[in-house]
Structure 1
Amino acid sequence: MNRLSLTLSRGIARVTESALGPYQSAVIRIGFAGTWLLFLLREFPHRQELYGPDGPWSWDMAQQLTSDNHAFTALMWSDGKGWFEAFYLLAILSSVALLLGWRTRTASVLFMVGVLSLQNRSVFVGDGGDNVLHLMSFYLVFTRCGRVWSLDARRAARVEAARARGEQVRADRVGPVLWAVLGLALGGATLAGRFDNGWLVPALLWTVWAVLGLWWAVQRRARSREPLILLDVIANVLHNGALFVIMAEACLIYATAGWYKIQGSRWQDGTAVYYPLHLDYFSPWPGLADLMSSSGTIMMIVTYGTVMVQVAFPFTLFNRRVKNVLLVLMMTEHAVIAIVLGLPFFSLAMITADAVFLPTSFLLLLGAWAARARERLPRRGAGDRTLPRPRSAEDSRSGRVGFTA
């Protein structure tokens, strides 16, 4: 009984004292933001037909659907082209900000608003990866995904280094200004009745706005560290819970896909992969598709292998070596799908979802490679220096608990 209590207390301490998986959460932040940004840029010439007033799914039809299913989309606030163009630009800028980790908490909220608004405006645009991005954009709001590999982390490191040298640190002015502007925008939208269609997203937006204001006030005005420690504990619990949900969501996607495939006759006889390779819509490289489908043995192995990997993956999380092997197989499979079937954004979304299970040691190795590659680039001046992020004992624990290779 004492051993059980000790284990339970240690588990609670880990969940509350640190944000687990900082490098995994940073990778999925970069991956999903980059996937959405690349999609928006690629479809920029066709944006009016996909999501704007010139699309086949008209504004009136979208308004009828959203009033029925209560889906949130800011594009229903106006049918003008000016509003659409401004919002599309906002979606691009929020993706860039989240990708770089600039004001990550605010950027994640704006990223979610952009994803939900555009996808709910035209529900028939997508290839499957949009569903994953739709869900993950909501979960990212609850994560502390800017702790590493972000501009926020670099700014925090510089402030910490300046304080260690005894220098006076200037108060942050960008954050309060951004908070005030977003508060005015939220208040104006609420008073204008723009949020009457549903309550979930508006409640989340107001909650995040209030929490950010409370956090800033506690940092500036609190006479003791207890209120800040309490807020930090709550943020860690939310982050760890959201990260667990992201992992569970990825497992659920693979498990349901695998079990549904088992029930299909084409997957049972090993010919399911053959047919998409001969559809014009999924054949950007017909020669490559013909080369792959020319061998019935290869098609059968790929078909059965896909089902086995998807069904087995959730059960391999308890064995890190087998899990890592299946991760490589699944990421390779998605890379092949991106090239052969012409579904790059679906594949990028799924690879990013898989990345939450990558071992921390591998991610640290990738970070070291990226740092060395950056050092080889020509510098703008002799005074251009990047301060390394200090690694504390808490960071070491939070980066490895439950995610080590």
Structure 2
Amino acid sequence: MSTVPLQRLARFVCATRAPYQAALFRIGLAAVIAAFLLREWPYRRVLFGDRSPLSYDMALTLIEEEGTFTVLSWWGGQLWFEIVYSATILAALAVMLGWRTRTMTVLLMVGVMSLENRNTLVGDGGDNIIRIMVIYLVFTRCAQVWSLDARRARAADARGTELAADRTGVILWWVMGALLFWAFGIPQETGWPVLLWCLWVVHGLWYSVNRHLPRHEMRSLLDDCASLVHNAAMLVIAAQVCLIYSTAGWYKIQGLRWQEGSALHYALHLDYFTPWPGLSIAVAANAALVLVLTYLTVMAQVAFPFTLASRKMKNVLLAVMIAEHLGIAVLLGIPFLSLIMVVCDAVFLPTALLMKAGAWSKRLPRIRSHRTPAPPTPPQQPVAPELAESITRSN
């Protein structure tokens, strides 16, 4: 029996797929999280901190009943909350830039889970999606392009040095290990502490192999395993998006208002969903437009998972879905739910489009410098011999 098909399958599975989509997903998700936390900065203590209506003792009871994870359960004071909140914002910015992405994605996951699980009663659908996607992000190789890590790797290759010889990464790894031991010690039961310790060990193993066995088979094995996990995570993200759309679409079909095409009309008349009352009234006054948008929303959500087999249909419907989310953000005033769904939709964008966008962004500085050239240097006039002689004598 020929092993060629199995070898081709192994090469296909163990190669890192969709690196540009993963990078865009990383940038978008981190940007949405940072924007959300910065917008809620004046109200952070009321939503998730020591001034929340859900007191610290009540939060501990709810966390224990739901079995959720949050580091805010360790202490209930303001200082610890401010540290966690600020560290989460910094981790989001670091992930967005792609700086030490392996470590920062884990810190971002811990921070987001801690804040969201401190008070789950104030969340909405956008918070649920963020909680899910930030976990998937940890298992992707999302910094291979459009990141400071990729830039550092290219610089190391150009110098002919090993990327593994990185003191900053080693120090960061030891600091994270000390924090894990201080926070959890040696875990005795399965759960989030075990997962965090496993991630820490894997990072250390990766560094050791890169440092001491750069051309060994173990290095290739770890790289293939990382690509396999990345591909699985990207597939799960895509499946999660399809599940969200299909579930939302099929539930809408069962509603009477959606069946008769008037659901959007009633949504536009809710006071807390009308950030622009004049615009909402103008749209709601057009019965034909409301009918078309209502039916288009249902059809797009139900049909989206079935159009993935056709590239052209998928791209068209993807543009429709992105436009729909942007419209929801403006009309209904739900910006972060819409933005996080746009970020999730970016996983399905064509690679050629993303590569062209990346190449175009690199040419922006050249275009600007070409449009605004520097003023020419005036030519220097030759100095007369008599004048040069007089200057020399005076010196």
Partner of 1:281: 272
Alignment partners' CA distance in 1, 2:368 and 2:60: 50
Alignment partners' CA distance in 1, 2:363 and 2:332: 35
Per-residue CA distance 1:142-186 (angstroms, 9 max, x = gap): 1000000000000000000111xxx79893110010000000000
Partner of 1:261: 252
CA gap 1:229/1:223 in 2 versus in 1, 3 angstroms: closer
Q: Which amino acid letter does the alignment assign opposite residue 181 of structure 2?
A: G
Per-residue CA distance 1:181-205 (angstroms, 9 max, x = gap): 00000001113x9x79x84321221
Partner of 2:99: 102
Equivalent in 115, 119, 134 of residue 116 of structure 2: 119
Alignment partners' CA distance in 1, 2:335 and 2:362: 27
Superposed CA RMSD in Å reads: 1.8
Partner of 1:188: 182
Equivalent in 5, 8, 11 of residue 10 of structure 1: 8
Rg larger for: 2
SS of residue paired to 1:71: coil
Q: Are the equivalent residues in 1 in contact too, given 2:25–2:344 (CA < 8 A)?
A: yes
Equivalent in 37, 47, 66 of residue 69 of structure 1: 66
Equivalent in 162, 172, 175 of residue 166 of structure 2: 172
SS of residue paired to 2:264: coil
- 2:32 pairs with 1:35: yes
Partner of 2:198: 207
Per-residue CA distance 1:78-125 (angstroms, 9 max, x = gap): 001000001101100100010000011101101110111000001022
CA gap 1:336/1:319 in 2 versus in 1, 3 angstroms: same
Alignment partners' CA distance in 1, 2:150 and 2:121: 38
Partner of 1:394: none
Q: Which amino acid letter does the alignment assign opposite residue 202 of structure 1?
A: P
Alignment partners' CA distance in 2, 1:23 and 1:170: 24
Alignment partners' CA distance in 1, 2:366 and 2:195: 41
Instruction: Tell me the TM-score normalized by structure 1.
Output: 0.88
Per-residue CA distance 1:274-305 (angstroms, 9 max, x = gap): 11111111110000001111111111111111
CA gap 1:320/1:12 in 2 versus in 1, 3 angstroms: same
Partner of 2:294: 303
Per-residue CA distance 1:18-38 (angstroms, 9 max, x = gap): 210000000110111000000
Alignment partners' CA distance in 2, 1:230 and 1:168: 18
Give the % identical residues.
50
Q: Are the equivalent residues in 2 in contact too, given 1:316–1:323 (CA < 8 A)?
A: yes
Partner of 1:232: 223
Per-residue CA distance 1:238-285 (angstroms, 9 max, x = gap): 000001000000000000100010001110110111111111111100
Matches within 5 A, 1:213-252: 213-222=204-213, 224-252=215-243
CA gap 1:256/1:25 in 2 versus in 1, 3 angstroms: same
Q: Which amino acid letter does the alignment assign opposite residue 251 of structure 2?
A: Y
Alignment partners' CA distance in 2, 1:168 and 1:60: 51
CA offset at residue 347 of structure 1? 0.7
Alignment partners' CA distance in 2, 1:47 and 1:245: 32
Higher relative contact order (CA 8 A, sep 6+): 1
Unpaired stretches in structure 2, ≥5 consecutive residues = 370-395
CA offset at residue 133 of structure 1? 0.8
Alignment partners' CA distance in 2, 1:370 and 1:224: 35
SS of residue paired to 1:318: coil
CA gap 1:318/1:214 in 2 versus in 1, 3 angstroms: same
Q: Are the equivalent residues in 1 in contact too, given 2:88–2:112 (CA < 8 A)?
A: yes
Tell which deviates more after alignment, 167-176 or 64-73. Answer: 167-176
Q: Which amino acid letter does the alignment assign opposite residue 188 of structure 1?
A: W
Alignment partners' CA distance in 2, 1:300 and 1:238: 44
Instruction: Tell me the TM-score normalized by structure 2.
Output: 0.90
Q: Which amino acid letter does the alignment assign opposite residue 294 of structure 1?
A: A
Alignment partners' CA distance in 2, 1:83 and 1:67: 20
Q: Are the equivalent residues in 2 in contact too, given 1:62–1:121 (CA < 8 A)?
A: yes
Partner of 2:330: 339
Equivalent in 326, 332, 336 of residue 317 of structure 2: 326
CA offset at residue 130 of structure 1? 1.1
Alignment partners' CA distance in 1, 2:60 and 2:42: 24
Alignment partners' CA distance in 1, 2:211 and 2:19: 26
CA gap 1:223/1:71 in 2 versus in 1, 3 angstroms: closer
Per-residue CA distance 1:204-258 (angstroms, 9 max, x = gap): 2111100111111111222742111111011011000001000000000000100
Q: Are the equivalent residues in 1 in contact too, given 2:165–2:211 (CA < 8 A)?
A: no
Q: Which amino acid letter does the alignment assign opposite residue 96 of structure 2?
A: L
Alignment partners' CA distance in 1, 2:240 and 2:267: 26
Alignment partners' CA distance in 1, 2:164 and 2:238: 39
CA offset at residue 9 of structure 1? 3.6
Partner of 1:317: 308
Alignment partners' CA distance in 2, 1:262 and 1:40: 34
Alignment partners' CA distance in 2, 1:169 and 1:228: 13
Alignment partners' CA distance in 2, 1:224 and 1:285: 61
